[in-house]
Chain A
């Protein structure tokens, strides 16, 4: 099987567990994001793949071969560190040429490759510039160029954009994604920013509490979160408790009944967690509760310009609805309003 395979990978520091029970198959040429809150083990996992940490258990195989015992400097993976780790005592050109120098590439070939890469990242003039004189975005690009200089099999990125300000980060996300697609290089990126993962990744691996919580495309994960952790971490959601009544009906804390997609594994009386995304909720003029249309009261309004977030309290649950200015109709706190939860948009978590 081609690609990178992690089998039963785990890492313990003494008695503390960093990450456990990791089974992944990362196909070639894709951009995979390890996404999760800080401390979930995603960087540890990346470093194990890089060879900078040893495995406590399990195996890592590349194209069928076990690379667990191969030291980091022989794995030929490119890596961009969070701090970028550009060598301060070398110029841009020397930094990029370093992996080639180590491999005994001739001076002429080194030069050619450096020029080629600088063109790729559009920093042709900077070849002799000392690293300290570069801006944040420029350093980013040099770090990436250096990592791919020796045609590595896999590119590893450890929260590469966390040090950049918001605007620069967004443009770099696009740049990195385009570069990755152009080179068709298998890339693994660690991030805690779910928007970043959604923007860039082909496959998202959500990590939480030292375990893999879900693997899938960004849309899969967004629409069909496997459990409450993923639902809560990805996007903003309305997660609320309910009690199953059978036949696709659940009752809310306030007593109202809700029709939801039928789920055969739920027993009557079981307590469940439900998810509905803010953009799926529909607000309308206040009318009596009927079906999935609940009557409630506005408790908070946030107008961010492009969208309006309205928080409504109904049936014992606080829902936040997202609407565009043309949809909204001038609600203010205390106003009664009706909220409709479309059946298909309601999701039972963990089922």
Chain B
């Protein structure tokens, strides 16, 4: 560690050369190990892309668009539509359920209650999907909790089939992706300063009006982010349709796996995988665009 006297002089120049490593190079140096791992991800995606235009039997050398053509068959199209539909519905429901929870979370004061809330919110996301699906099996089964409750309330005469069909899967999708909706919305709501609510109240708004007309619109970027995350997450959901849908709910991710085991049709699996990636990226980009504009508008007004 030297502290030399400042002795050497440099001739005055118009532009200063940057000292040492340029900031760009230094930043990328720090990022390089992470980029290495992410590079594996990208390389893997490219491999999938390549595989998707291969042919069965000559995966790397062959070239054909047969796998994509296969995806246009009604069976696969139905699966794609099903996936998108379930993902969309689950996103909407998850967001609707998330809004009150997020609002409560953002306005809580007691640290203990906050921790309980956060734990309860995080558990469905982090705990093994497998385990929760088992739990759902118990809840949704013919002798399960939901059916018993509905019969007890007199709403139905006989147990309804909730498992191994879309309804059960939908419930599972909403429950497991729920935290993905809560966290961004809570974060956005926390960003809505309390003074806005107070100002609205002084102008005569009731509590509900304040919520609907001030807090909700200002949290819109968070809501969109939440909906997008749930959509993307559920579009590629694997465990939930596998366990709760049986063979009856062929979401795209299940399709991908089926192509590999037992069908060993790598190109077809890859093609389906590519469709999944493209869908996800498209949704993310769209949402980024929408929330970006909205956020800029909010920031400009402050």
Interface residues of A (CB under 8 A from B): 7, 54-59, 61-62, 64-71, 74-76, 102-104
Contacts and interface: CB of A to CB of B under 8 A. Distances in A.
Contacts of A104: 1
A75 B12 contact: no
Given A69-B19, A74-B4, 9 more contacts: A56-B16, A57-B15, A65-B7, A65-B9, A66-B12, A68-B10, A70-B6, A103-B3, A104-B1
Contacts of A59: 12
B266 to A, nearest CB: 49
A65 B9 CA distance: 6
Contacts of A66: 9-10, 12
6 contacts: A56-B15, A56-B16, A65-B8, A66-B12, A70-B6, A74-B4
**Which 6 A-B residue pairings sit nearest by Cβ, starting from the closest?**
A66-B9, A59-B12, A65-B6, A66-B10, A55-B16, A65-B9
B16 A76 contact: no
Interface string B1-25: 1111011111010111011100000
Contacts of A68: 10, 16
A74 B19 CA distance: 13
Interface of B: 1-4, 6-10, 12, 14-16, 18-20
A14 to B, nearest CB: 14
Contacts of B10: 66, 68-69
A28 to B, nearest CB: 15
Nearest to A65: B6
A56 B17 CA distance: 9
Contacts of A69: 10, 16, 19
A150 B9 CA distance: 24
A58 B1 contact: no
A67 B9 CA distance: 7
B12 A76 contact: no
Nearest to A103: B3
Nearest to B17: A69
A62 B14 contact: no
A65 B10 CA distance: 8
Give the dominant DSSP class at B's interface.
loop
B1 A57 contact: no
Nearest to A64: B9
Contacts of A55: 16
B19 A71 contact: yes
Contact of B3 (A54, A58, A76): A76
Nearest to B7: A65
Contact of A7 (B4, B6, B12): B12
Q: Which of B2, B12, B15 has the most CB of A within 10 A?
A: B12
A57 B8 CA distance: 19
A70 B6 CA distance: 8
A54 B7 contact: no
Q: Which of A57, A62, A104 has the most CB of B within 10 A?
A: A57
Contacts of B18: 54
Given A66-B10, A67-B6, A68-B10, A102 B15 contact: no
A44 B3 CA distance: 25
B15 A62 contact: no
Contacts of B8: 65
A54 B19 CA distance: 9
A67 B12 CA distance: 11
A75 B19 CA distance: 14
A68 B11 CA distance: 10
Nearest to A61: B9
B93 to A, nearest CB: 44
B213 to A, nearest CB: 34
A57 B15 CA distance: 5
A71 B10 CA distance: 14
Given A54-B18, A69-B19, A62 B6 contact: yes
A74 B14 CA distance: 23
Contacts of A71: 19-20
A153 to B, nearest CB: 9
Contacts of B3: 74, 76, 103
A186 to B, nearest CB: 15
Given A71-B19, A102-B1, A104-B1, A57 B14 contact: yes
Contacts of B14: 57
A54 B16 CA distance: 8
A68 B20 CA distance: 13
A104 B3 CA distance: 11
Nearest to B11: A66
A69 to B, nearest CB: 6
A103 B2 CA distance: 8
A199 B14 CA distance: 37
A147 B4 CA distance: 19
Given A71-B19, A104-B1, A58 B12 contact: yes
A196 to B, nearest CB: 29
B6 A75 contact: yes
A75 B1 CA distance: 13
Q: Which of A62, A67, A68 has the most CB of B within 10 A?
A: A68
Nearest to A54: B16
Contacts of B12: 7, 58-59, 66
Nearest to A102: B1
A65 B8 CA distance: 7
Contacts of B16: 54-57, 68-69
